[in-house]
Amino acid sequence: MRTLSILILLIFSPQPTFQQEPTVCIIGSGIGGSSLAHFLRQYSSKNWHPRILMFERNGVVGGRMATVTISGQTFEAGASILHPKNYHTVNFTKLLNLKPKDPPSSEDSTAFGIWDGSKFVFKTISVSSTVPFVQKIVSLANSVLMVLRYGLSLLRMESFTESAVDKFLKYYESFETRPVFESVDEMLKWAGLFNLTARSLEEELIDARLSPLLMQELVTIITRINYGQSLSISGLAGAVSLAGSGGGLWAVEGGNWQMAAGLINCSDVALHLHEEIESISYLREYYELNSTKGNSYTCQITVVATPLDELNLHFSPPISIPERKLQHTHATFVRGALNPAYFGLDGVSKIPELVATIEDPDLPFTCISVLKQHDENDFTYKIFSRKPMTDTLLDDIFSVRKETIRINWGAYPHYKAPEVFAPFILDGRHLYYVNAFENAASTMETSAVAAENVARLILSRFFSKPSVTSLNLKTSSDAREELHLDL
């Protein structure tokens, strides 16, 4: 009788199961990992509250969203601009009560010049006036200069870019029309974007009838600035790069990294800073994660939300993903003044605020931009280059150099069409990879879009038979309307 009583108690007593409240481990605290934690919380039902652990090998969150401080002032050092149609990051900013601002290089009146290594082949007009009417006149004059140089190809470039952006907006549709995607290929094909990853940007723009001059100059400097690469990148990465040079660009006052920090704080996450995961082992019912601190963690769901390309992470059993290289961008910040003689000019004021370069392996930098002007001969600059900027080179380019900071970013994938994608599900079970989408395009928003899909994928697969009603998945038209908020 005692044995029967115990059996009855076991049957009718509530049993804690992994499926009710699992532990989710997220590796990486950038926009991908923080967005994933946010969407898991947002879409989970009130009766399903998973424990979320997040691991960050550095001492701060944000990943490739980072800032640098020069002479007591803070500037973006990594991912720096957002598009007005980046609806997830727009929502994050409003949710967290962050303040959007215009980045220094997004103003219409910003003067730029195209440098070929010996001369400026094109320069826009520059004025120091802050009067709005004067700035409008200058902007209009510069638009005329652009049309005179590039003609109708500018409209064709805009049309190509808008077409890709419109297709990307499908990822904000309501759940009735937007499925959960198990692969990047499937996700891209659904939105009509897959073909853009199969051909180079150059091939796409030739078909769009852009002039060779526009491609060699304006398009090239945009892809060099945004992705550190040439027209050989894939068409989709190129379209995203071109979209990142348009109007209405913005950033978060005080640093974009605050989005990641805020999302983590709002998502009830147990954050482990200065702790790098060195191995992930699947042990039938769960994953065991071991860190460089000698700690071991048990998780039913594990998500890698950082690029695996240069990560020393061991998987057991092993996983297989396509080999991919990261494109390294060297960001050099200098407080001082450029040397006008280096550019063949007779004064600092005649150097454009943005010095962009064409594709030439002999050119030592991709671009030089003014972040802040302190006085007539004192500026803070940001320099992008594919190789480190040596002191000797900097002394040639600058007449005055008060402070110098160098950062080497493994910033984004090295794009090459046709792109091959890693899977979102790395092992067929519950090991996920948010950054698989980066081979399509790498931005803060694309990371958030990928994270949102992975969050839905986790919930649908963990509950074997996905039930929209069992989760807090918004299915009304309000979901899309909430994504379309004005800054």
For 239-292, the pLDDT digits (tens) are: 999 998 878 899 999 999 999 999 999 999 999 999 999 999 999 889 999 999
Report the range of poorest mean pLDDT among 11-20, 43-52, 97-106, 288-297.
Answer: 11-20
DSSP string, 368-394: EEEEEEEETTEEEEEEEESS---HHHH
Residue with the larger pLDDT of the pair 111 and 1: 111
Q: Indicate whether 115 and 216 sit together in one domain.
A: yes
What are the CA-CA distances from residue 245 to residues 103, 238, 322, 422, 484 (Å)? 12, 11, 30, 28, 21
Residue 176 structure tokens: 């009735």
- What average pLDDT does this structure show over 290-315? 96
Asked if pLDDT for residue 398 goes beyond 60, the answer is yes
Alpha carbon distance 173, 179 (integer Å): 10
Pick from 368, 393, 413: which residue ends a domain?
413
Pick from 397, 413, 429: which residue ends a domain?
413
- Look at the chain and report how many structural domains it folds into: 2
As to burial, measured by CB atoms within 10 angstroms (0-12 exposed, 13-18 middle, 19+ buried), residue 5 is exposed
If residue 334 lies in a helix (H) or strand (E), which one and from where to where?
Answer: strand 326-338
- What average pLDDT does this structure show over 361-372? 95
**317: preceding bond cis by omega (within 30 degrees):** yes
- Residues 44-55: pLDDT tens digits? 877 778 999 999
- Residues 411-466: pLDDT tens digits? 999 999 999 999 999 999 999 999 999 999 999 999 999 999 999 999 999 876 44
pLDDT value for 105: 52
Q: Indicate whether 223 and 148 sit together in one domain.
A: yes
Sheet holding 277-282, edge to edge: 296-299, 287-291, 277-282, 314-316
Q: Is residue 330 part of a domain?
A: yes
Residues 6+ apart with CB under 8 A from 200: 231, 232, 233, 234, 235, 238, 417
- Residues 145-201: pLDDT tens digits? 999 999 999 999 999 999 999 999 999 999 999 999 999 999 999 999 999 999 999
Q: Is residue 422 part of a domain?
A: no
Q: Indicate whether 384 and 403 sit together in one domain.
A: yes
Alpha carbon distance 38, 267 (integer Å): 5
Q: Indicate whether 217 and 342 sit together in one domain.
A: yes
Q: Is residue 458 part of a domain?
A: yes
Asked if pLDDT for residue 220 goes beyond 90, the answer is yes
Residues 6+ apart with CB under 8 A from 239: 160, 161, 163, 164, 165, 196, 201, 204, 441
- What average pLDDT does this structure show over 91-117? 83
Q: Indicate whether 219 and 130 sit together in one domain.
A: yes
Which stretches within 44-115 are classed as H helix? 87-95
3 state SS of 357: strand
How does the average pLDDT of the chain come out, rounded? 89
Q: Is residue 103 part of a domain?
A: no
Residue with the larger pLDDT of the pair 16 and 27: 27
Q: Indicate whether 143 and 238 sit together in one domain.
A: yes
Q: Is residue 300 part of a domain?
A: yes
Mean pLDDT is highest, among 5-14, 132-141, 145-154, for 145-154
As to burial, measured by CB atoms within 10 angstroms (0-12 exposed, 13-18 middle, 19+ buried), residue 174 is middle
pLDDT value for 104: 64
Alpha carbon distance 432, 428 (integer Å): 9
**Residue 264, domain CATH:** 3.50.50.60
Q: Indicate whether 132 and 231 sit together in one domain.
A: yes
What are the CA-CA distances from residue 24 to residues 180, 263, 287, 359 (Å)? 19, 16, 10, 45
- Residues 456-474: pLDDT tens digits? 999 999 876 443 333 444 4
